[in-house]
Amino acid sequence: MSYQVLARKWRPRNFAELVGQSHVVRPLVNALDHARMHHAFLFTGTRGVGKTTIARILAKSLNCETGVTSTPCGICSACKEVDEGRFVDLIEVDAASRTKVDDTRELLDNVQYAPTRGRYKVYLIDEVHMLSGHSFNALLKTLEEPPPHVKFLLATTDPQKLPVTVLSRCLQFNLKRLSLDEIAPQMQKILDAEGITHDAASIKLLARAADGSMRDGLSLLDQAIAYGGGKVAEAEVRAMLGSIDQDFINRLLQSLAAGDAGALLQAVADATEYGLDYEMLLKELLLSLHRIALAQADPALAGEEGENVLAHARALSPQDVQLYYQIGLLGQRDLPFAPDPRSGLEMTLLRMVAFRPVEAGEVRASIKPVATPTKQSPVESRGTVAPAAVAPVSAPPVTAPAASPPVSAPVVRSASIASTKWSETVAQLGLAGLTRELANNTTLESHADGAMTLILDESRAQLLNKDREAELKQALEKYYGAAIRLTVRLGRPAEETPAKQKDRLQEERQQAAVQAITDDPNVRALQEKLNARINPASIRSKV
């Protein structure tokens, strides 16, 4: 059995099966039930929202052998032929490929003849705005004096291109783009009926990607089923769409609200693992920030993802949203100049956290001379981005001054080769808990002829007990593959212990991160243009 695409297999056969467009269906059903059918309808709306489907259902309603009805039987030969696309009295014309006046004349000449099979001849002219001027005149003449056995169903994505003379002779219906809540349940229903394994997250992703069109949505669903080898799973769908899940953007926004640089960097690491596009990620983040700013100006503007957007609108201050947007825009502009896209994205996100303004009250409590009130406040100058969205600000949000001393270039003390080697050995012993702590606070004094002496930092003497010493001995014997007589002495290690080395490296990385932020030209630009200050406590190095 050949595979039939879902959009065709699941094309609605009657008005009850049609998803959405109830504002169009209701008047059509009423007209059919009361036998007061207008002779010309114009359906406007983007592709894949149901224009042709509605026209076919209408053709069945008018020609069903049970009589004119809003609920065609679906089993008589007229209904079946319409469903199979071979009903002679349903004449489908794609005006986009038939613009010559002769063609249309030929078409309209036949209007005069009675229907071959049914009660009515139904003309469906798609993309009717593509007809030439002469064709329009020919059509118009027929619309002025239509034979009683003819119904015209005109469809267009661009009604503004239609002459008013045509518009005035048609009943016009504007088909809406379908919402997520209309597309997703239909996908769910189809997958259930087809017995295809799926998850809610995949459906959400696909329904969003459908962008208001059920046909596009079902076509994507076909692709997802093929891509996933007969099942629909989130990871594959995400890879297929190359799109960024809103959940991922939510995660970034929450990390920004919490000022958590570590979480942001982890998110970027995960994005790398998922194979997400960094540029797209930044773009989606900017779009979300825009929606949040709108919602902060007026909650009614929260849009489709209303609840989600409002939650972020509450969690973030309008100033922060403006700042993140501005930094994100600069980051997007500079992304091609970054050494690589990932580091460009990382720096942009870190910058957002580094520049986060602190609460106005906090500023007043901790500093006086930093903010000069005569200067334009940072928020006002940022207002040029989206003035409507900037809420009134009571005090200039100046970042808290650095509590720490000025940052100097990282001091690199060369650790001795012996201590580095011992650190590496300890790291490979596979120890855990306090026994690992014990090992990390020792240095190797001597190791010869099966005798090993370690010096335990005397300030950590409490770590030493018989059990841990035995466990350490066992691990060392396993590592060296030989019996060892272990002695652990308390003392002041001359070399750097692994624990001290780790602290030092962490400190050096931190200083390097602060330095990188301080040296960044974009950061400097923000400092100069927006009167911003770096909050060093907010910078965390990647471990």
Stretch that binds Zn ion, among 63-71, 97-105, 258-266, 401-409 (CB under 5 A): 63-71
Q: Indicate the angle between helix axes 417-427 and 498-519, nearest 10 degrees.
A: 100
Please give the size of the binding site for Zn ion, defined by CB under 5 A: 5
Question: Residue 34 has what DSSP assignment?
Answer: T
Kindly list the strands in the beta sheet with 90-94, ordered across the sheet, starting from the edge strand earlier in the chain. 90-94, 121-126, 150-156, 40-44, 171-174
**60, 79 Cβ separation under 8 angstroms:** yes
Question: Given the complex with Zn ion, which of 73 and 464 has the nearer CB atom?
Answer: 73
Window of 70-78, 113-121, 155-163, 400-408 that interacts with Zn ion by CB under 5 A = 70-78
CB closer to Zn ion, 79 vs 131: 79
74 vs 341 by CB, closer to Zn ion? 74
- The stretch near Zn ion (CB under 5 A) out of 64-72, 311-319, 339-347, 532-540 is 64-72
Residues 396-435 that bind Zn ion (CB under 5 A): none
Binding mask 6-45 for Zn ion (x = CB under 5 A): ----------------------------------------
List helix spans (H) across 114-245.
133-144, 164-167, 180-194, 200-209, 214-227, 234-241
Residue placing its CB nearer to Zn ion in the complex, 69 or 250: 69
Choose the binding region for Zn ion from 65-73, 163-171, 249-257, 515-523 (rule: CB under 5 A): 65-73
Instruction: Say how far residue 362 (Cα) sits from the centre of its chain.
Output: 35
Label residues 422-457 b or e (16+ Cβ within 10 Å = b).
bbebbeebebeeebbebbbbbbbbebeeeebbbbbb
Interface with Zn ion includes 64 (CB under 5 A)? yes
| Amino acid occupying residue 266 | Q
Scanning residues 340 to 379, which ones bind Zn ion (CB under 5 A)? Answer: none
CB of 71 vs Zn ion, minimal distance in Å: 9
Q: Which residues contact 247 (CB under 8 A, 6 or more apart)?
A: 201
Sheet holding 442-448, edge to edge: 442-448, 451-457, 485-491
Q: Name the nearest CA neighbour of 401 among 525, 509, 538.
A: 538
CB of 170 vs Zn ion, minimal distance in Å: 26
Cβ at position 77, least distance to Zn ion in Å:
8
Rg (CA), the chain: 35
Separation between Cα atoms, residue 69 and residue 29, nearest integer Å: 8
> Of 50 and 72, which has the nearer Cβ to Zn ion?
72
Q: Which two tokens stand for residue 91?
A: 């004449």
Decide whether 73 or 395 has the Cβ nearer to Zn ion: 73
CB closer to Zn ion, 55 vs 190: 55
DSSP bridge pairs for 456:
442, 490
Among 31, 68, 73, 393, binds Zn ion (CB under 5 A): 73
Stretch that binds Zn ion, among 68-76, 234-242, 350-358, 394-402 (CB under 5 A): 68-76
Q: Please, which residue, 62 or 184, has the CB nearer to Zn ion?
A: 62
**Segment lying near Zn ion (by CB under 5 A), choices 73-81, 105-113, 161-169, 171-179:** 73-81
At closest approach, how far in Å is the CB of 119 from Zn ion? 11
Name which of 72 and 228 has its Cβ closer to Zn ion. 72
* DSSP helix, strand, coil percent of the chain (3-state; round to 5): 55, 10, 35
* 124 binds Zn ion, rule: CB under 5 A: no
The contact pattern for Zn ion, residues 74-93, with x = CB under 5 A and - = no contact, is --x--x--------------
Residues forming contacts to Zn ion in the complex (CB under 5 A) are 64, 72-73, 76, 79
